[in-house]
Amino acid sequence: MIKLDDGEGLLLYGDTERNSDLFYATRFHAPDPFFFVCTPHTRRMLIGDLEYDRARAQADVDEVLSQRQYAERAAATLGELDPQQRRFAGVTVMLQELELRVVRVAEDFPVGAADFLRSSGFDLRVVPVPVLPQRALKSAAQVEDIRAALKASEASMDVAVNAIRAAAVDADGQLVLEGEVLTSERVRFLIHRALLEMECNGQHTIVACGEQGCDPHEQGHGPLRERLPIIIDIFPRSATSSYFGDITRTVVKGQATDGLQRQYDAVLEAQLQALASIRAGADGRQIHQSVADLFTRRGFETGEREGRIQGFFHGTGHGLGLDIHEEPSISTRGESLESGHVVTVEPGLYYLDQGGVRIEDVVLVQEDGCTNLTTYPKFLEV
């Protein structure tokens, strides 16, 4: 947790499906919002009756308190409260019990709750994200959770690649599988079905063909075609551990054009260079800049063409854990890597006349280098 003095507390509010700090602090899965407070001496949850008994049995906190009971205590003092006030009034009683006046909250703490607490006399101070910076350093168990999610990612990648490999090509250059045109949507369905069988949830999975792949977050739509690059980016979250996996491969059905092969080779070379540079103490900005410099030396320029930014225009990598994008960043931000960081390495090149190419692995940063947690092979033609 962040450093707190006596009389100070850290207050989090939300549900653990969307608030990863809250899940990290409590290790409790809950779809409905609740309060968590920690001080130098205690860690407490204030939660509704629906989850109260389960939280008492499962949450990693010192004490679980009833939101209803605390709201009733607040109402006895404050009088009749509307539903929103009842939701927030109970936490004021808990904070008063702990003799807190300075309460630190995250930047995304709800405005309604903040206004109510300030009007009740509490001094709220915003904590810059990440609220729990220790999340960036993964324990051995957390690395294994990520590795498990990666295995599911790789297995579903194999499903996608095999579908493309098995497809025929019709007279219009469209891929056809089992008598039906093979679309981005169909491949995405196959990926998501495979992930569900492995207790992982896939959302916003990318299967983007040709020019669609030039927008790195375009999910892809419509028929897949031969001889055009197909970016497949899969980043599922484990339904059991809540940790993410993340993998990207770029494939082409049939023979790649010479230009596409050169583009792919440059991205692979850049990724291997970045992987070789990752170790504790390495500077993320320098690694990123070395990737950009390599692309320039190979003749792949970055800039605006035809009203679109083209070339290499995103970071080389990002932290991975309970959120798909965490600290640290391997980008222009320039953060130092530490042993225990888990980061992606995913350079890419994007040109409208050629399509996009991106290759992504996940690695564990160590003192003398890194361990690649991704095992899926890298190839272009299928």
Q: How far is CA 88 from CA 8, 35, 83, 122, in A?
A: 19, 9, 9, 13
What residues have CB less than 8 Å from 77, skipping those under 6 apart? Answer: none
Q: Evaluate whether 235 touches 346 at the Cβ level (below 8 Å).
A: no
Element at 356 (helix H, strand E): strand 355-358
Query: What is the CB neighbour count within 10 angstroms for residue 129?
Result: 12
The sign of the CA dihedral 130, 132, 135, 137 is positive
Look at domain 137-372 and name its CATH class. Answer: alpha beta
Report pLDDT for 105.
97
Report pLDDT for 1.
60
Report pLDDT for 79.
74
DSSP 129-164: SPSSGGGGS--HHHHHHHHHHHHHHHHHHHHHHHHH
Domain with CATH 3.40.350.10 in the chain: 8-135
Domain with CATH 3.90.230.10 in the chain: 137-372
The structure tokens listed for 209 are 């063909």
Assign domain 8-135 one CATH number from 3.40.50.300, 3.90.228.20, 3.40.350.10, 3.30.465.10: 3.40.350.10
The structure tokens listed for 219 are 């999910």
Buried b (16+ CB within 10 A) or exposed e, 45-62: bbbbeebbeebeeebebe
Q: What is the mean pLDDT of each run of 10 residues along the chain (382 residues)?
A: 87 94 96 96 96 97 96 83 80 95 94 92 91 95 98 98 98 97 98 98 97 97 98 98 98 98 98 98 98 98 94 98 96 94 98 97 98 98 98
pTM of the model: 0.94
Q: Evaluate whether 46 touches 67 at the Cβ level (below 8 Å).
A: yes
